[in-house]
């Protein structure tokens, strides 16, 4: 899609409740009446491109999908808490509270870790399809890939936090460094 076509695209904001996208047409009819027809028209070339902006209220994912003739550009992302808030998970593994300096130290390391792994929180893909139903399913797969990657990262993050707590315990034993 050219920049000029994108400027002419219609934007529809939706809340699909539990997901940022759905291959289930009945979900669209229930949660975003009329959106499916506009996307179908864009896909067939009979209507302008349509951008679907979705941020389900019950999830930490959001997405923007622009449907045009025979294709779609899908972009989904996952939101994580701020590093300062995530640092409390380190404190939960300690016998006592962290000092302000320790909290700041853990927050900084968590911020770096999140920045290094930022690609795990976003999936973007240009998909083409022979049918509209295939397009819905292909875009749904992009969101599913993001969910799977986030679940792996979440599991690994728990181990990362345990390591930070262990490092902090060791720092406490060793005392302040000059």
Helix, strand, coil share (%) of the chain residues, nearest 5: 55, 20, 30
pLDDT of residue 59: 75
Q: Which domain holds residue 135?
A: 3-174
Answer for the pair 74, 139: CB distance below 8 angstroms, yes or no.
yes
In the chain, what percentage of residues exceed pLDDT 70? Answer: 94
Phi first, then psi: what are they for 61, rounded to 5°?
-110, 155
State pLDDT tens for residues 45-98: 999 999 999 988 777 899 999 999 999 999 999 988 899 999 999 988 888 899
In the chain, what percentage of residues exceed pLDDT 90? Answer: 70
Total number of residues shown for the chain: 178
> Distance between CA 76 and CA 124 in Å, rounded?
6
Answer for the pair 135, 127: CB distance below 8 angstroms, yes or no.
yes
CA nearest 139: which of 69, 79, 63, 78? 63
pLDDT for residue 3 is more than 80: no
Domain count, the chain: 1
Phi first, then psi: what are they for 56, rounded to 5°?
-60, 135
> Distance between CA 112 and CA 123 in Å, rounded?
20
């Amino acid at each position: 899609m050219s920049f000029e076509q994108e400027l002419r695209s219609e934007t529809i904001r939706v809340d699909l409740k539990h997901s940022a996208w759905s291959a289930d047409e009945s979900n669209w009819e229930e949660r975003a009446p009329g959106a499916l027809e506009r996307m179908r028209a864009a896909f067939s070339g009979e209507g302008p491109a349509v951008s679907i902006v979705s941020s389900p209220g019950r999830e930490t994912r959001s997405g923007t999908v622009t449907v045009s003739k025979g294709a779609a550009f899908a972009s989904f992302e996952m939101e994580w808490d701020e590093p300062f808030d995530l640092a409390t998970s380190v404190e939960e593994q300690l016998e006592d509270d962290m000092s302000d300096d320790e909290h700041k130290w853990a927050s900084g390391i968590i911020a770096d870790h999140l920045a290094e792994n930022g690609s795990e929180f976003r999936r973007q893909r240009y998909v083409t399809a022979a049918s509209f139903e295939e397009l819905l399913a292909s875009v749904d797969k992009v969101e599913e890939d993001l969910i799977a990657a986030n679940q792996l990262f979440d599991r690994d993050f728990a181990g990362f936090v345990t390591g930070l707590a262990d490092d902090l315990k060791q720092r406490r034993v060793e005392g302040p460094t000059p």
